[in-house]
């Protein structure tokens, strides 16, 4: 069993859960904040790990490598915005929400690029 597709799926599910948790926190469920932070940091570690794997893989396409690098940057920005929110900078709330949705979209795009590249390699 290959671990990269499993880790990619975990990242995608985690990103979707994060968006849902974030909206719940905005709606007043502050008790979920710690879980939201924990999942966010774990997601950052997973995304960086997957990016290292993608950059070292000889069969990975350039597009998937670039998408992974951009995803790492987006997740780092997301963590930074979250820390600003924890520090009381409520003006970053909308940017944090929008960036979270971008993370989900880019995770889907990256998964699609990776799957397409894997199919091409099997056919060759």
pLDDT value of residue 61: 85
Q: How far apart are CA 58 and CA 48, in angstroms?
A: 18
> What's the angle, vertex CA 20, arms to CA 97 and CA 24, rounded to 5?
85
* Locus of tokens 């979209």: 105
| Global pTM value | 0.89
Beta-carbon contacts of 24 under 8 Å, excluding residues fewer than 6 positions away, are 32
pLDDT value of residue 1: 54
124 residues of the chain, pLDDT tens digit each: 577 788 888 999 999 999 999 999 999 999 999 999 999 999 999 999 999 998 998 888 888 899 999 999 999 999 999 999 999 999 999 999 999 999 999 999 998 888 888 788 888 6
Number of domains in the chain: 1
Q: Are 78 and 99 in contact (CB under 8 A)?
A: yes
pLDDT value of residue 38: 95
pLDDT value of residue 5: 81
Residue 88's domain comprises: 3-123
Beta-carbon contacts of 71 under 8 Å, excluding residues fewer than 6 positions away, are 47, 51, 103, 106, 107, 110
């Amino acid at each position: 069993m290959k671990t990269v597709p499993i880790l990619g799926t975990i990242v995608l599910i985690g990103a979707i859960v994060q968006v849902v948790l974030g909206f719940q926190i905005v709606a007043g469920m502050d008790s979920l904040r710690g879980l939201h932070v924990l999942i966010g940091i774990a997601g950052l570690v997973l995304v960086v790990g997957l990016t290292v794997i993608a950059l070292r893989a000889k069969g990975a396409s350039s597009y998937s490598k670039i998408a992974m690098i951009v995803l790492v940057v987006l997740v780092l920005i997301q963590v930074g915005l979250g820390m600003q929110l924890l520090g009381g900078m409520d003006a970053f709330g909308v940017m944090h929400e929008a960036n979270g949705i971008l993370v989900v979209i880019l995770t889907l795009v990256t998964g699609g690029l990776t799957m397409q590249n894997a199919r091409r390699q099997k056919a060759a």
